[in-house]
Chain A
Amino acid sequence: MVERYVMSVDQGTTSTRCMLFDHGGRLVSVTQREHKQHFPRPGWVEHDAMEIWKNLERIAPEALAQAGVVPEQVAALGIANQRETSVLWDRHTGRPVGRAVVWQDTRTDALVGELSARPDADMIRERCGLPIATYFSAPRVRWLLDNTPGLRERAERGDVLFGTIESWLIWNLTGGPKGGLHITDVTNASRTLLMNITTLAWDDDLLAFFDVPRAMLPEIRPSTETYARASRVLPGVRIAAALGDQQAALFGQTCFAPGEAKCTYGTGSFLLLNTGTEPVPSTHGLLTTVGYQIADEPAVYALEGSIAITGALVQWFRDGLGLIASAPEIETLARSVEDNGGCYIVPAFSGLFAPYWRSEARGIIVGLTSYITKGHLARAVLEATGWQTREVVDAMNADSGLALKALKVDGGMTADNLLMQFISDVLDVPVIRPMAAETVSLGAAYAAGLAVGYWADLEGLRRNWHRAAQWLPSMDPGRRETEYDNWRRAVERTFDWIKPAGK
């Protein structure tokens, strides 16, 4: 009998990965390609959607070749994607309209300010579970429609389509201009500000509020379901799952029961807590979002603490400042000193997300003295991720009324031992990494495999979860308190930096 595998695509903020997994959920092959980050103006972040598609066209066949596998052996394909990043494209030519506007982009801050000031803005959070912020798709689509001549008319006619990256990839995989399928999954739709969090459908009031035409929107589908077979790149392979990357990681960590949580450390970091089949509103600055929906079963919801900039700060240290040659060298540099030397970096590059939601905040470095070296700065870079985690965990504990007992982690930054130890120290709980650092990919594969019967049920997947590493807290409680206090004072200093226009 020929061996069969499940393929996943993780279209992340910094790169696209393609992986094959076997029945034991074990990695069989992996290929990866970074794409260019475009920063055309302060606060603007863009990707070339065509470049991302070409990367996938290249790495998917490479992943098959690496394992000596043919498309017929691929039982299903699951897609996980960077969320909220918005692409508009021409359905007739398949060409994107300008570059994709990335989730970190803050060009809509003035628009967001205007929209938030409207009297009917109050209904938004209740209706879709999200605050109005530059982070989500709707203001971005509105901005593009307002700022590209003729675009609104084309969108209203359905000639221009909107999608997050999974929509764009599925449309292309299923034929593009020649009959491509225009769909999104509930988890991605739950990040647009346009979907009703209870009915899981596009909401007319929300569409009217943001003035986004329905004709350009994809159809909302469950996270696991055989949507179609690919007609290009992986001909004949069933596309059987799509999830936002953070939700895919929740799935990959097998957090299937209410109360189970994970935090994924990549470009940004995202703590998600499974809250079961009812949406739970937050009173502490967290988001209510869809965790996953398996076929026609009821959706499972999650509370989310979103941190915009964690790995991206390391990336900036590398590319923007040129102080290291590769991201992992941040640990080497940080270990060259004992502590942060009194220096703190608050990376409010895109404003601050959870629990603050301050679009007007901007990043700062405080505590600079002649004593500070690049080693101290490297420490401060890593510690920023630790303290931001502490803030969202505090919010999560307050919202759920329960104290987190251990933190399950995954993502590229979990290779950093110094960072993982620091997170355990500041949370004062064990930090646990499962035996699949690429949990996003694994989750997308699990969801797709489940949809086509490659895996039987959730319990079977749970048995694949094993602890690969664990860090235990060892920080002196007094020091933890002092440092946390310093951090919070640093955060306050980022507020109100961007002034409303005309003031």
Chain B
Amino acid sequence: MACVPGPVQSIERAAAILRLLARGSGRLGVSEIAASLGLARATAHGILRTLQGVGFVEQDEESGKYQLGAALLHLGTSYLDVNELRSRAINWADALAARSGEAVRIGTPLDGRVLVVHHVFRPDDTLQALEVGALLPAHATALGKVLLAFDAGAAAALLETGLESFSRRTITHPRELSRALVEIREMGWASEVEEFTVGEAAVAAPIRGQGGLVVGAMGISGAVERLCDPRGRPKPTLVTYVRDAARAVSRDLGASRW
């Protein structure tokens, strides 16, 4: 580690603003907040705008005054509604299916498993059934491994309950899973080759929200022959399609760096 930085001033100030708003009974204007904390008006305004952007404060349309935001009350629960995630991702999920020629799924974590919140059919007009609402095992699917890789708590909980085997290739050793998750974090995507269903492969990448928080995973799945090269590794072009699509959704959700 290069150096341990001291406290970040703007975060301390943001915390003070939240305390101030929590203390008062009514709403406060930007000048009142600036005066109370001895901040320049522009500084207070900048912090308030940022807090508003993440939902921690809300601004009254008429008076322009600020109060604590509803998101603060729901800090523990998921901040992005799954139906909203689908709405925000639907265009890019379609484009990914059209480009890759494969079925697309979006998953979010639910009680240690993956909830399929969106599903786009493989674009070959064959009969397929919607799998929205299905639950998939986290450690045996590309979607799930992405979610585990970016949520240490969920990964630890799963390792404690044990890893069920679905095929000869399912990862069932805790240490092997931990290694796989490190690799996924480094590469920024995950794959699954016959680990859940024999003959099937999948590739997935994280969908990030504001500040880089992973809110879901998006990926394609299909026959091993189509998704993988002769050596059984996912084809690089398909990986690129998946990562680009997940990045496009992330950008839409306000994740600036991805």
**Chain A residues close to B by CB (< 8 Å):** 24-28, 30, 325-332, 412, 414-417, 435-438, 466-471
Decide: A469 near B81, CB < 8 A? Known: A27-B94, A328-B86, A415-B86.
no
**What 0/1 readout, one digit per residue, does chain B (45-82) give for beta carbons within 8 Å of chain A?**
00000000000000000000000001000000000011
Tell me the dominant secondary structure on chain A's binding face.
Answer: mixed
Binds A, one of B2-10, B13-21, B115-123, B158-166: B115-123
Residues of B within 8 A of A326 (CB): 81, 84, 87
In contact, A466 and B98 (Cβ under 8 angstroms): yes
> Which are the 8 A-B pairs with shortest beta-carbon distances?
A466-B123, A328-B83, A27-B95, A328-B84, A415-B87, A328-B87, A331-B83, A26-B98
B186 at the binding interface (Cβ < 8 Å): no
9 A-B residue pairs with CB within 8 Å = A27-B94, A326-B81, A326-B84, A329-B84, A435-B120, A467-B125, A469-B119, A470-B128, A471-B130
Query: A495 to chain B: closest CB distance in Å?
Result: 34
A466 and B104 alpha carbons, distance in the complex (Å): 14
Residues of A within 8 A of B90 (CB): 414-415, 437
Query: A472 to chain B: closest CB distance in Å?
Result: 9
Residues of B within 8 A of A325 (CB): 70
In contact, B70 and A415 (Cβ under 8 angstroms): no
Decide: A435 near B81, CB < 8 A? Known: A412-B87, A415-B86, A471-B130.
no
In contact, A332 and B95 (Cβ under 8 angstroms): no
A332 and B83 alpha carbons, distance in the complex (Å): 7
A415 and B86 alpha carbons, distance in the complex (Å): 7
**What 0/1 readout, one digit per residue, does chain B (95-132) give for beta carbons within 8 Å of chain A?**
10111000000000000000000011101110010101
A331 and B118 alpha carbons, distance in the complex (Å): 14
In contact, A466 and B125 (Cβ under 8 angstroms): yes
Contact residue among A24, A414, A415 (Cβ-Cβ distance under 8 Å from B98): A24
Residues of B within 8 A of A412 (CB): 87
A468 and B83 alpha carbons, distance in the complex (Å): 17
Query: B128 to chain A: closest CB distance in Å?
Result: 8
In contact, B83 and A416 (Cβ under 8 angstroms): yes
Query: A416 to chain B: closest CB distance in Å?
Result: 7
Residues of A within 8 A of B130 (CB): 417, 469-471
A155 and B132 alpha carbons, distance in the complex (Å): 55
In contact, A27 and B92 (Cβ under 8 angstroms): yes
Specify which of B98, B124, B132 lies most central, judged by the most chain A CB atoms within 10 Å of its CB. B98
B91 at the binding interface (Cβ < 8 Å): yes
